[in-house]
Amino acid sequence: MADLEIIVRYKSVPARVVLGLIVLSLPVWGIIVPGILVLGFFMVLSNFDSFLRGLDHWDIVLKVVLGLLAMPCFGVLSTLAFADNRIIASKAGVSFPIFLLPLFSFRRQFPWSEVKRLQLLEIGNPEQENKNLVFHLSGHKSIRLLLSGLPADGVEQLLLSAELWGGDCQKDVAVLELHRSLQDKASLSDHLSYTAMWEEELSRRFSSTSFMPLEPGHSLQNGHLSVVRQLAFGGLSAIYLVQRNNKELFVLKEAVVPGGADDTVKQKAAELFEREAHLLRKLEHPYIARVLDHFVESGRNYLLLDYVNGQDLRQLVKQHGPQPESSVIKWGVEIARILVYLHGQNPPIIHRDLTPDNLVLRESGTVTLIDFGAANEFVGTATGTLVGKQAYISPEQFRGKAVVQSDIYALGCTLFFLVTGQDPEALSTSKASLVHEQVSQGLDLLIADCTAMEAGERIGSAQEVVLRLEALAPEPAGSVKVSD
């Protein structure tokens, strides 16, 4: 399960100046010096014996060679350091750009427990360009970020992250006023402020629940699993980040049978959960988070899955808007290959809940499926209600008869969301071009063919979706070819 995460670009004038100087000196350390080293190497190699006889000062030569070697290494490392201007905030903490590392004894990331205070410090006149946002850290350390180097929405995101996760962090009155003013400006525009956006996301993840979820520190499986924190919960299911044997991190998905359910229904639901979990444990695919175990404890049913670090596609679109068509096509190919693999099992595995929420974009740029519909089927059977996100559920699945084409419908809805930034209309054929005029005719037609109301009128198989998406790509899709 992906954690919420923000990335803000910090445009430091001194860092940009240094980076500019490094780039300007590129011909020296990137071309001339390596050229001298290569030329010298071949000259020595061609006259090696005479070179050895005439060499009296090995130490001087060695120092010169090492000095010349150090120049391109220093140039490359400096370029990487000063080009990385990201401030990354998540529940785990906040990390600052690499070029600020010397200020923190070469530590980059700090947990929120070490962020003690946020201060808005004015330098000279009260113009924003002369204000610093100061992070006061443990050990009497602090870092100053010039507000003029941060985008307005980036400032709001940083302040919001401190509000959400920095529970012990004190905020000065000026900081609180700045946060309110940024929200007010956003409310006057046509766009949601990041505060409103994240409140919506939190309400989505942490909706009302009909049972008491496990608290952090709760142990399962005789103490082998410990709940680190809750990732999401609602209704009769929950998802946790857990630690096994105080080492590796995993995701634990929980499903609960309501106390008033009929015994026959309970038994049927439990059998379904166990059957699905048994099938899922056999899966092995590079784009699917592995299901490692399933067990029942204290009347609750659990799936243990690999923890995949990254950002789910819904949060990605919420933060950055509709995605470039080339990226959507590449991700679509990877998602379709997941379905090729699932539908190729014996018997075919129908996912039933393929949505942007259950797909995580790894740092490598590939998409990974992180959740399955087994627990949802379990809860639905136990309660007699449909569980899932209606905008992504096909008509036949809505009637309780999911088939492999139901997953193709959900895939089409997911592509619609990625390319338009909006959830599709429930129980309808999706036309992306009606929302986003820049969508190509080919992708628009493919989405419509995936989301036809009748299963028999949709694209027949996930493999056909792969072929049609690859045909739309301006060049090879770029994802690593794997056997399905």
- Per-residue model confidence (pLDDT) at position 102: 56
- Cβ neighbours of residue 87 under 8 Å, at least 6 residues apart? 7, 8, 9, 10, 94, 95, 96, 97, 145, 154, 158
- Out of 2.30.29, 2.60.40, 2.30.30, 1.10.3470, the CATH code matching 86-203 is 2.30.29
Q: Domain boundaries in the chain?
A: 13-83, 86-203, 219-472
Considering only CA atoms, which of 322, 345, 332 is closest in space to residue 437? 322
- Per-residue model confidence (pLDDT) at position 475: 60
- Per-residue model confidence (pLDDT) at position 385: 47
- Per-residue model confidence (pLDDT) at position 2: 45
Q: How many CB atoms lie within 10 A of CB 364?
A: 9
Residue whose tokens read 């190509």: 440
pTM of the model: 0.57
**CA 393 to the chain's CA centroid:** 24
The answer to whether 353 and 273 have CB atoms below 8 angstroms apart is no
- Per-residue model confidence (pLDDT) at position 61: 64
How far apart, in whole angstroms, are the C-alpha atoms of residue 42 and residue 262?
Answer: 85
How far apart, in whole angstroms, are the C-alpha atoms of residue 445 and residue 459?
Answer: 11
Considering only CA atoms, which of 462, 372, 356, 470 is closest in space to residue 414? 356
pLDDT tens for each residue of the chain, 484 residues long: 445 577 888 888 777 777 788 778 888 877 887 788 787 777 767 766 665 555 555 566 667 777 778 888 877 877 777 777 888 888 788 888 877 765 545 567 888 888 888 888 876 555 445 788 888 888 778 888 888 888 877 888 888 778 767 766 787 778 877 877 776 666 555 555 656 555 555 555 555 555 678 888 899 999 999 998 887 765 567 888 899 988 889 999 887 766 666 777 677 777 777 877 887 888 999 999 999 998 989 888 898 999 988 888 998 998 899 999 999 999 999 999 999 999 999 888 888 889 998 899 998 899 999 877 554 555 455 444 444 467 898 988 877 788 999 999 999 999 999 999 999 998 899 999 999 999 999 999 999 999 999 999 999 999 999 999 999 997 654 444 444 4
How far apart, in whole angstroms, are the C-alpha atoms of residue 332 and residue 354?
Answer: 12
- Angle (CA) 203 206 207, round 5°: 75
Q: Which two tokens stand for residue 426?
A: 């429930």
In Å, what is the CA distance from 303 to each residue of 259, 276, 289? 20, 10, 12
Query: What is the third-level CATH fold of 219-472?
Result: Transferase(Phosphotransferase); domain 1 (1.10.510)
Q: How many CB atoms lie within 10 A of CB 101?
A: 13
Considering only CA atoms, which of 427, 407, 399 is closest in space to residue 358? 407
The answer to whether 369 and 379 have CB atoms below 8 angstroms apart is no
Q: How many CB atoms lie within 10 A of CB 293?
A: 16
How far apart, in whole angstroms, are the C-alpha atoms of residue 3 and residue 201?
Answer: 11
The answer to whether 10 and 87 have CB atoms below 8 angstroms apart is yes
- Per-residue model confidence (pLDDT) at position 220: 95
